């Protein structure tokens, strides 16, 4: 959904609330404290009480946003909706400075909104099947860490650098998962693959890095040989390499202030946007956020 459509569809706070109530309760509102459906909406004209409900069982009051991404927010839901639409549609990652200008909200608030949205995106559980390509890459990193402390020589690229190591796996024609890891040892790789791939059914395709040998003993595994020509072969890792390009374009387009602590959230955003690129990402995201607990 583009910006104009969001503004037209959700002109007021009430419109946003009504939409979220449909997504969360589908016409059957329920108390988030005791799960009773014996609830009633408070008087709409009660100032400051828009969207507030009373539970006749436990006597609590609650809103549709209870326990969700929007819990307790003082920012208008329309601004949240615009932020989600802008993030979902941005080719490169949106910056919080840009969002601040677009929403008329302080940059620090925008930064928190965007991090909360990324956190929600990271809750998407994915289990891969079929032909799965796995690979590792290195992103971010403070510039000085790229230099050896002893002799000041630049460290080599790829495996063994000071950048953040990221493992990724993608199902052909399906979804991707990427995770920040401490290292790329065989043990770490095995744990990662087993947590995101259905190893009983899937076929793993990787390059010849020996770190994949351990997991390769537990599932079907093919390695590509770059010295040979595999033009018509299924044995390639083009899909995961395409995803790494997507991550790096977004990353280096916007993250001037880098911190490893936030790498998982940026990865979550990249994965989510890739996984839902051909869907209604806006409504999909809001549906998920209304059905997951923070």
**What is the nearest approach in angstroms of Zn ion to the Cβ of residue 28?**
14
Distance CA 58, CA 280 (A): 37
Site for Zn ion contains 294 (CB under 5 A): no
Site for Zn ion contains 58 (CB under 5 A): yes
Provide the 10 A C-beta neighbour count for residue 186.
16
Instruction: Check if the beta carbon of residue 215 is closer than 8 Å to that of residue 189.
Output: yes
Distance CA 290, CA 100 (A): 25
Site for Zn ion contains 61 (CB under 5 A): no
Which region among 24-32, 78-86, 168-176, 178-186 touches Zn ion (by CB under 5 A)? 24-32
Cβ-based nearer residue to Zn ion, 36 or 287: 36
Cβ-based nearer residue to Zn ion, 58 or 186: 58
Site for Zn ion contains 57 (CB under 5 A): yes
**What is the nearest approach in angstroms of Zn ion to the Cβ of residue 51?**
16
**What is the nearest approach in angstroms of Zn ion to the Cβ of residue 68?**
17
Cβ-based nearer residue to Zn ion, 53 or 80: 53
How far apart, in Å, are the Cα atoms of 116 and each of 24, 122, 258?
Answer: 19, 10, 17
**What is the nearest approach in angstroms of Zn ion to the Cβ of residue 66?**
11
Q: Which helix (H) or strand (E) holds 246?
A: helix 238-254
Which of 1, 17, 55, 117 is in the footprint of Zn ion by CB under 5 A? 55
Cβ-based nearer residue to Zn ion, 7 or 34: 34
**What is the nearest approach in angstroms of Zn ion to the Cβ of residue 289?**
22
Cβ-based nearer residue to Zn ion, 10 or 53: 53
Q: Which residues pair with 206 in a beta bridge?
A: 223
Handedness of CA 21, 26, 27, 31 (dihedral sign): negative
Distance CA 257, CA 243 (A): 22
Cβ-based nearer residue to Zn ion, 12 or 57: 57
Q: Please give the size of the binding site for Zn ion, defined by CB under 5 A.
A: 7
Distance CA 148, CA 122 (A): 34
Q: Which phi-psi region, left, alpha or beta, contains residue 221 (left: φ > 0; alpha: ψ -120 to 50)?
A: beta
**What is the nearest approach in angstroms of Zn ion to the Cβ of residue 54?**
9
**What is the nearest approach in angstroms of Zn ion to the Cβ of residue 64?**
14
Q: 144, 151, 114: which is closest to 254 by C-alpha?
A: 114
Q: Which helix (H) or strand (E) holds 89?
A: helix 77-89
Site for Zn ion contains 225 (CB under 5 A): no
What is the per-residue binding string for Zn ion in 25-54, x denoting contact by CB under 5 A? ------x-xx-x------------------
DSSP 125-158: ---B-SEEEEEEEEE---GGGGB-TTT-PBPPSS
Sites of contact with Zn ion (CB under 5 A): 31, 33-34, 36, 55, 57-58
């Amino acid at each position: 959904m583009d910006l104009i459509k969001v503004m037209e569809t959700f002109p007021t706070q009430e419109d946003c609330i009504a939409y979220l109530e449909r997504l969360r309760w589908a016409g059957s509102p329920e108390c988030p404290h005791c799960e009773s459906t014996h609830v009633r909406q408070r008087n709409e004209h009660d100032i400051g009480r828009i969207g507030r409900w009373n539970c006749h069982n436990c006597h609590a009051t609650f809103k549709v946003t209870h326990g969700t991404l929007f819990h307790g927010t003082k920012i208008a839901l329309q601004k949240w909706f615009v932020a989600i639409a802008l993030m979902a549609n941005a080719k490169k990652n949106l910056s919080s400075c840009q969002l601040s200008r677009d929403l008329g909200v302080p940059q620090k608030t925008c930064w928190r909104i965007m991090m909360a949205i990324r956190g929600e995106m990271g809750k998407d559980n994915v289990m891969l099947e079929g032909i799965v390509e796995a690979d590792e890459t290195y992103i971010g990193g403070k510039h000085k860490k790229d230099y050896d402390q002893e002799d000041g020589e630049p460290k080599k690229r790829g495996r063994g650098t000071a950048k953040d190591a990221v493992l990724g796996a993608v199902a052909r024609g399906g979804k991707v998962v990427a995770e920040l890891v401490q290292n790329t040892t065989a043990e770490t790789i095995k744990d990662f693959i087993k947590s995101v791939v259905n190893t009983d059914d899937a076929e793993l395709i990787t390059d010849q890095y020996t770190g994949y040998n351990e997991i390769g003993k537990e599932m079907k595994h093919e390695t590509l040989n770059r010295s040979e020509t595999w033009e018509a072969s299924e044995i390639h890792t083009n899909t995961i390499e395409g995803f790494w390009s997507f991550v790096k374009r977004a990353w280096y387009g916007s993250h001037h202030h880098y911190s490893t602590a936030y790498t998982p959230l940026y990865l979550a955003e990249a994965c989510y946007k890739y996984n839902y690129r051909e869907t209604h990402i806006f409504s999909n995201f809001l549906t998920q956020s209304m059905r997951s607990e923070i």
